[in-house]
Amino acid sequence: MRVYLVAGELSGDILGAGLMRALKARKDDIEFRGIGGPRMIAEGLESLYPLETLSVMGLVEVIKHLPELIKVRRHLRRDALAWPLDVMIGIDAPDFNLGLERQLRGQGIPTVHYVSPSVWAWRQGRVKGISKSVDAMLTFLPFEAAFYERHRVPVAFVGHPLADDMPLINKRDATRRVLGLTPDVPLLAILPGSRANEIRFLGTTFCDAAERLCERVDDLQLVIPAASPQRREELETLLTDYPQLSHRTRLLDGQSREAMIASNAVLLASGTAALEAMLCHRPMVVAYKMAPATHWLAQYLVKTKWISLPNLIAQETLVPELIQQAATPEAIADHLAVWFEDTEACRALEKRFAEMHAALQRGASQRAAEAVIAVAGRQPLPTHLLPQMSEDSS
């Protein structure tokens, strides 16, 4: 069996390596070729380009590198057809991979795309092009699979690798001891984001909200993981304007997951961190601010009722979402206070998150391998991989 894989960034390299291991466990005689990073190469991939070749972010940068990217895709198409291959798997990087998948599928090659683009959220018309590019879309989340099912695109719900990696039982007290945090006091984890712009737009608002929460919750302590040394410097500078918070606050280098497990509640920017907080089974408030022009445009482009993954997965409002003008310090503090004052609501949400975690903990790499083997053999997707939900994700 000859498998062509194309990954475009570190997360894709991690996913690709897991998928390759699962495929090798099912197929004794298998070869891999394409683009990947050190993890995929260690699993036996012959990589034709460095992983960073496709890691181009931003409109100006993409335009600048477009001729090179077109050249790379043409080379991969020729190489794949000459090899020849049994199945092509594009791992994320949809702008690059879906075009290559469509070209190869037009030549009779079965194709799979692993990790759905956010087509359910914006530019939903892209699903028509996706349907012409893939023989199967592999999704992490059930509402994504339901979206493709409604649009008659073959889809397998494989579960989320992050859910596989995180235990269904986590220990708050033990984690606090490891981090050197006080064991018996209320603790708020604050995750303002990993980008400088997020610190700029959210940092002051989050600190103002924390000040107000301290007035309502006795002995409240704060823990803030810094995503990088640069973010730590920015957070340290920010906290100099809040001396009343400094003695309550512990800055961490990374360790965001541990910070969330140790906490009673989490204040965070929307994004993957919300999914991680859910998988840590911690109540949260999601708040986000962006440049006014970006927010104005997003209002017209984004088609979802919710922005945070816990709410999207549940298809109901489980956690507060405060966006732009709604993300005031007063509103954030009011919503956070609920998680510290209403013990029953807190426990009920933690229980719900544990159930959602279990539903996503499917063995994503193994299920993805099953789907790939079916597509390569031109067989229907196994029925147990088909979506079981049909909720409206819009």
Write out the two tokens for 179.
Answer: 């981090």
Q: Cα–Cα distances in Å, from 201 out to 38, 57, 74, 312? A: 35, 21, 41, 24
Q: What is the pLDDT of residue 270?
A: 75
Asked if residue 371 lies in contact with residue 158, where contact means CB atoms within 8 angstroms, the answer is yes
Q: What is the DSSP string of 6-27?
A: EE-SHHHHHHHHHHHHHHHHH-
How far the first Cα of the chain sits from its last, in Å, is 39
What is the CATH classification number for the domain harbouring 318?
3.40.50.2000
Let me know whether 149 and 213 are in one domain.
Answer: no
Q: Is residue 86 part of a domain?
A: yes
| pLDDT of 335 above 80 | yes
Give the other-Cβ count within 10 Å of 381's Cβ: 17
Let me know whether 141 and 202 are in one domain.
Answer: no
Give pLDDT tens digits for 70-90: 999 999 999 999 999 999 999
Closest CA to 264 of 166, 167, 172, 168: 172
Let me know whether 374 and 296 are in one domain.
Answer: no
Q: Is residue 260 part of a domain?
A: yes
Let me know whether 180 and 133 are in one domain.
Answer: no
Please provide the average confidence, as pLDDT, over all residues in the chain: 91
Sheet strands side by side (includes 31-35): 45-47, 31-35, 2-7, 87-91, 111-114, 136-139, 155-157
Write out the two tokens for 235.
Answer: 């957070």
What pLDDT band is residue 305 in, cutting at 50, 70 and 90? confident
User: 221-226 and 249-253 as β-strands: parallel, antiparallel, unpaired?
Assistant: parallel
Give pLDDT tens digits for 203-251: 999 999 999 999 999 999 999 999 889 999 999 999 999 998 989 999 9
What pLDDT band is residue 57 in, cutting at 50, 70 and 90? very low
Q: Could you list the residue range(s) of the whole structural domain that residue 116 is in? A: 2-159+362-385
Q: Cα–Cα distances in Å, from 365 out to 20, 120, 270? A: 8, 23, 26
| pLDDT of 54 above 90 | no
Closest CA to 51 of 81, 96, 118, 112: 96
How open is the CA angle 158-163-165, to the nearest 5 degrees?
110
| pLDDT of 314 above 70 | yes
Let me know whether 151 and 221 are in one domain.
Answer: no
Helix axes 364-376, 10-26, angle to 10 degrees: 70
**Mean of the pLDDT values across residues 95-116?**
96
Let me know whether 97 and 242 are in one domain.
Answer: no
What pLDDT band is residue 297 in, cutting at 50, 70 and 90? low
Give the other-Cβ count within 10 Å of 216's Cβ: 13
Check whether the bond before 380 is cis (ω within 30° of 0).
no
Q: Which amino acid is at 82?
A: A
Q: Is residue 16 part of a domain?
A: yes
